[in-house]
Amino acid sequence: MAHPTTEPAQVTAVRMLLAGPPNRCPHPAPLAIARGGVIALVRGTDPVSQEVELGLRALAEGGGLDLLDVVPAPEFGRTPPARRVKLVVAATPATSFAARRCAAAWNAPVILPGMINPDESLRLLLRPEPALTVEFGDGRTCTVVQAAYFTGSVHCATTSGTFAHEARELAISPIPGGMLTCVVSEDASPVRPLRELLKLHLPSPVLATVDGITDVFPAGTHRIGLARPLYRIVLHTTPPKSGDLR
What does the pLDDT look like over 52-75, one tens digit per residue?
999 999 999 988 999 999 999 999
Q: CA 238, 239, 240 angle in degrees (round to 5)?
A: 110
The fold for domain 132-226 equals: Tumour Suppressor Smad4 (2.60.200)
DSSP of 167-204: EEEEEEEEETTEEEEEEEESS---EEEE-S-EEEEESS
Going from N- to C-terminal start, the domains of the chain cover 9-129+229-235, 132-226
The pLDDT of residue 89 is 96
Q: CA 176, 75, 217 angle in degrees (round to 5)?
A: 80
Query: What value does the mean pLDDT take over residues 120-145?
Result: 85
Burial zone of 204 (CB within 10 Å; 0-12 exposed, 13-18 middle, 19+ buried): exposed
CATH of 9-129+229-235, one of 2.60.40, 3.30.200, 3.40.1350, 3.40.50: 3.40.50
3-state secondary structure of 52: helix
Q: Enumerate the β-bridge partners of residue 9.
A: none
Q: By the 8 A CB rule, do 229 and 132 touch?
A: no
pTM for the model stands at 0.80
Query: What value does the mean pLDDT take over residues 92-100?
Result: 94
The pLDDT of residue 2 is 44
The pLDDT of residue 117 is above 90: no
Strands 148-158 and 191-194 turn out to be unpaired
The region of weakest confidence among 109-123, 131-145, 156-170, 197-211 is 109-123
Q: What is the pLDDT of residues 14-62, one digit of tens each?
A: 887 775 544 444 444 456 677 788 999 999 999 999 999 999 999 999 8
CB atoms inside a 10 Å sphere around CB 56: 25
